[in-house]
Amino acid sequence: MAQPFRIPDIMALARAEGAVRVEDLARRFGVTVQTIRRDLTLLTNTGELERVHGGARLPLGTVNTPYAARRAQNHEAKARIAATAAMEVPEGASVFLGIGTTVEAVARALAGHARLLVVTNNLQVAQILAETAEVIVTGGALRAADGGLVGGQTSAAIRQFRFDLGIVGCSALDPEGNILDFDLREVEVSQTVLSHARQVILASDVSKFERKAPGRVASLSEVDLLVTDQAVPSRVAARCAGWGTRVNIASKLSEG
């Protein structure tokens, strides 16, 4: 009865936090711990979760690093990437800024731009630019872990626009040039952005080539510019050249 309604909510919490606890879920849904254990057993049997002591987690390789840890990782590289990406944004442009700590850094780099219209599904970005740009926040389901808004409502809001620029991040990149993410709801949002922006910038440091994520957003062939901090793998560089995708290495610009 109520179980079909709990299952999507349990999975949404697991994707946002990486793991869920039986007692926390029982309190949240107002049911017994035995009921929650049955729910988790069902999700474990379908392979969507793995049981751990006191709860369950996303299977290894399908969960992102916690947001606070990601914000601290490669901080200097993200700042360089952000400054370089911001140089591509003319004053008076309409810009979509997505979820992620690198895109959050881009927002800080855009604080000095004039007359920007910024549409975002990132509450962190909205706060950063609230006083210097016209900011529109999409609706959607709130991911408490990082202030991101995701899901069908978010995508529907994005479809109302045609942006000059869409600036997005990602969780991982593979050797074939595929852009990857963990949350399939975020995948849907990013795909919508790619189809509603005149130009798309992917802001990502090269460490993303060392990571894996299950959800495919798109190919780098669908991106106009990859802004990164170091030379990308030669195989990917060759593919980007063939596709006409520019690769801008922020560290080289900083040094020059």
Residue 200: its pLDDT value, please?
A: 98
Mean pLDDT, residues 42-46 taken together: 83
Q: Which residues of 214-236 are buried (b: 16+ CB within 10 A; e: fewer)?
A: bbebbebebbbbbbbbeebeeeb
Whether the predicted pLDDT of 69 surpasses 60? no
CATH 3.40.250.10 is the classification of domain 67-255: no
d(CA 29, CA 109): 42
Question: What is the residue extent of each domain of the chain?
Answer: 3-57, 67-255
Whether the predicted pLDDT of 196 surpasses 50? yes
Which string of DSSP letters, residue by residue, matches 120-163? ESBHHHHHHHTTTSEEEE--SEEETTTTEEESHHHHHHHTT--E
Q: What is the rounded average pLDDT for all residues in the chain?
A: 88
Residue 256: its pLDDT value, please?
A: 40
Tell which CATH architecture fits domain 3-57: Orthogonal Bundle (1.10)
DSSP bridge pairs for 203? 227
Residues 146-185 have pLDDT tens digits of: 889 999 999 999 999 999 999 999 999 999 999 999 888 8
Mean pLDDT, residues 93-119 taken together: 96
